[in-house]
Chain A
Amino acid sequence: MSAESRPAVAEAVVVPVRSGGRSRVTTAVLTYVVAVALAAAVSALFILAMRGDVALAFRTILSSSLGSVAGIAQTLNKISPLLLGSMAVMLARQGGFFNIGVDGQMYAGAIVATGLAFAVGGALPLVLMLPLALLAGFAGGAALGAVPGALRARWGVNEIFVTVMLNFIAYYLTEWVATGPWNDPITGEAITRVLPESATLPMLLPAAGAHAGVLIALVMSAAVAVLLGRTLLGYEIRTVGDNPRAATLGGVRLGRITLVTLALSGALAGLAGAIEVVGYHNRLILGLTPGYGAMAILIAVLGRMHPIGVAVASALVAVLMVGADSLQRSVKLPASAGAVFQAIVVLCVLLVEARAARRARG
């Protein structure tokens, strides 16, 4: 499965190559414009099929996500799980791994953070409890990410299967804690009691409801970019991703890098889960992630596995997701339309890129 060729990080940097006069960056921009236009056309067909107003739908997406302070707050809140999740996918991919387990790792981080807050949150002040809860999320995600890492390092088990299976296990574990031991009996749903106040993330825009999670996500993303680009560990991860055999011959301990990469990847997702708990819901709920993991994969592909690209793509997808949520109310288009739109954009980008690569080969 590792036979797939991976574009090197350097490739995403602007280098004019084509003799025909078009720089690579123009080609990339054109690719995305064509892809978005195609995806928009397909989405318009869907809206028409539902007898919706196409122009109104597209206007609604933009006005609901960016047209008001409350909308911007919603968009900022969505950026935090999307950015951390896609950074998790990107980090794993740089090491040559596919992390399909972002959803499960988010749940794992959320469970550990919630458990810690219930256990000691009443006794600790916010300055102590909040970092602890975030750290707990980080650790919970890392623990779940270490499982595919260890299995791959020890027995060569493909991490795709392990991360997928762990998604289901983490989901049912969340359902159990949210309906069983930590359940809030008043709601009658898979929701835990409210966390102690010391485990609450401060607000960025208090009136509009934006929490500070997006700042944490941005700082962590910068840290990941530095880790990959400027440290020995990052260099080793990228070497393993490029050519595991050469890395081993060069003295990189393959098993160790496999374990560390997937654990770190899981930790980013776990942190995202903890932020959702302490920042957004103030409790653990079963629908904590409405498929952020799948979105994260697409964002990482759209962002070309490059930190800046991934950050930009996360912001765009956050706009799309908030917009899609409001479409549900105005055009009666279900929220899954957002995922479909995004998947079509990605497939179009891949199509245009593969065609260009084929032409370049002659």
Chain B
Amino acid sequence: MSLWLLVDPHLWQQTLVYAAPLIIAALGELIIERSGVLNIGIEGMMLVAAVTCFVVTWQTRSAAAGIVAGMGAAAILTLLLVYYAVALGGPQITVGLGLYVLGVGLSSLLFRVVFGVRTSPPSVQTLAPVPLPGLADLPVVGHVFFHQTLLTYLAFLLVPLVHLALFRTPWGLRLRATGENPRSVDALGISVERLRYGAAAVGGLLIGLGGAYLPIVLTGTFSDNMTAGRGWLALMLVIFGRWMPFTALGGALLFAYVEAFQFKAGIVEKAVPVQFLLMLPYLFALVVLVRIYRGARAPQALAVPYDREARG
């Protein structure tokens, strides 16, 4: 295997393709966690979004309708989590795990309810790359950055947008304060509940977009557990990124590079069993995990239910 593979422009182009769903979902989770709610069921939510997007696209022949439906489906689940967490003060990790298992089962069930058991899986048209006029013709850079689908461009556009929303708007300030010290927000007469529901809705839509990306850009079809741990990776990226959008993007690119490399190496390299290449992203995640906890500081009120009447 030639080392040139590591710097192959096509590998970089694929890195961006695989980074997009990770960063979109991580941004969604980041917004929810910044509000003080821990959503651990993201893997299941992405799966539900993926199947919803696929089914709706297949029936309406409209990718846009599918994407919107997938986003909505995930948002329903995040709102459900926040109902438990905020309105009832329930145990967030347990409820999150329940929603994760529900998502895994529900996505598989929905697919079979609609399509039955088939030997050849149905498929939809994936989004075509849209070369950006002018930029796409640049040498190397044009191919890597500007031959992507609209959703991929959107993913990278979302990073500065979420950053601005969190750090340059009153809403973002209140949201972050809710995650650090909800009592102070409450004292200003702002509803902690409403902020957390709002964060869950926005975050859920983004998590759903990350899930919808998988069938509509990557595969064109749905298969059980097709997220393959991307939800858990997104959850990790939030910690990796220290709850900051741009740092999370760095992590997403790193993981996506390993993932893209593994796919590409699987085509070129025949001596190493493919299973060991498929393991690479997860082994890499384990190595990274050891590092990311050093000095990580979560929002102070993360996963702590807010009780107005408790004595602070």
**Chain A residues in contact with chain B, CB under 8 A?**
1, 3-5, 46, 49-50, 98, 100, 151, 155-158, 160-162, 164-166, 168-169, 172-173, 175-176, 179-180, 291, 294-295, 297-298, 301, 332, 334, 336-340, 342-344, 346-347, 350-351, 353-355, 357-358, 361-362
Contact = CB atoms under 8 A, between A and B. Distances in A.
Contacts of B117: 332, 334
B101 A334 contact: no
A170 to B, nearest CB: 9
A301 B229 contact: no
Given A164-B232, A350-B91, A339 B84 contact: no
Given A157-B289, A332-B116, A340-B109, A354 B88 contact: yes
- Looking at B108, B109, B304, the one whose CB has the most chain A CB atoms below 10 A away is B109
Given A158-B293, A358-B89, A339 B275 contact: no
A274 to B, nearest CB: 21
Contacts of A176: 273, 275-276
Contact of B290 (A49, A155, A180, A350): A155
Interface stretch (B7-15, B164-172, B279-287): B279-287
A337 to B, nearest CB: 5
Nearest to A98: B93
B282 to A, nearest CB: 4
Contacts of B228: 168
A165 B290 contact: no
Contact of B95 (A155, A173, A175, A350): A350
A346 B229 contact: no
Given A3-B302, A98-B93, 20 more contacts: A1-B38, A1-B303, A151-B289, A157-B289, A157-B293, A165-B232, A169-B282, A172-B276, A172-B278, A172-B279, A176-B273, A176-B275, A180-B275, A339-B101, A340-B105, A342-B101, A344-B102, A350-B94, A354-B88, A357-B90
A357 to B, nearest CB: 7
A300 B236 CA distance: 25
A351 B97 CA distance: 14
Contacts of B289: 151, 157-158, 161-162, 165
Contact of B106 (A161, A298, A301, A340): A340
B230 to A, nearest CB: 11
A212 B77 CA distance: 41
CB-CB nearest 5 A-B residue pairs: A339-B105, A354-B90, A343-B102, A354-B88, A336-B108
Contacts of A344: 102
Interface in B104-118: 104-106, 108-109, 112-113, 116-117
Given A162-B289, A173-B275, A339 B38 contact: no
B88 A358 contact: yes
A157 to B, nearest CB: 5
Interface in B253-312: 273, 275-276, 278-279, 282-283, 285-286, 289-290, 293-294, 302-304, 307, 309
Contacts of B229: 164-165, 168
20 contacts: A3-B302, A4-B91, A46-B109, A46-B113, A98-B93, A151-B286, A161-B285, A166-B282, A168-B279, A173-B279, A175-B275, A298-B101, A336-B104, A336-B109, A339-B104, A339-B105, A340-B105, A347-B95, A355-B88, A362-B309
Contacts of A334: 108-109, 112-113, 117
B74 interface: no
- Looking at A173, A346, A353, A357, the one whose CB has the most chain B CB atoms below 10 A away is A346
Contact of B285 (A165, A343, A350, A353): A165
B104 A291 contact: yes
B285 A346 contact: no
B92 interface: yes
B109 A168 contact: no
Interface string B188-232: 000000000000000000000000000000000000100011001
Contacts of B109: 46, 334, 336-337, 340
Given A172-B278, A176-B273, A354-B84, A155 B293 contact: yes
Nearest to A156: B293
The B interface is mostly helix, strand or loop, or mixed, namely helix
B84 A351 contact: yes
- Looking at B105, B273, B290, B307, the one whose CB has the most chain A CB atoms below 10 A away is B105
A350 B104 contact: no
A347 B105 CA distance: 14
Contact of A294 (B95, B101, B112, B304): B101
B40 interface: yes
Contacts of A291: 104
A152 B146 CA distance: 42
Contacts of B102: 340, 343-344, 347
A42 to B, nearest CB: 11
Contacts of A156: 293
A298 B303 CA distance: 20
B23 interface: no
B303 A3 contact: yes
Contacts of B16: none
Nearest to A50: B113
Contacts of A49: 113
A161 B235 contact: yes
A287 to B, nearest CB: 12
Nearest to B95: A350
Contacts of A342: 101, 105
A165 B286 contact: yes
A23 to B, nearest CB: 23
- Looking at B236, B279, B303, the one whose CB has the most chain A CB atoms below 10 A away is B279
B276 A4 contact: no
A337 B100 CA distance: 15
A362 B89 CA distance: 13
Nearest to B103: A343
Contact of B273 (A158, A180, A298, A350): A180
B99 interface: yes
A257 B112 CA distance: 44
Contacts of B113: 46, 49-50, 334
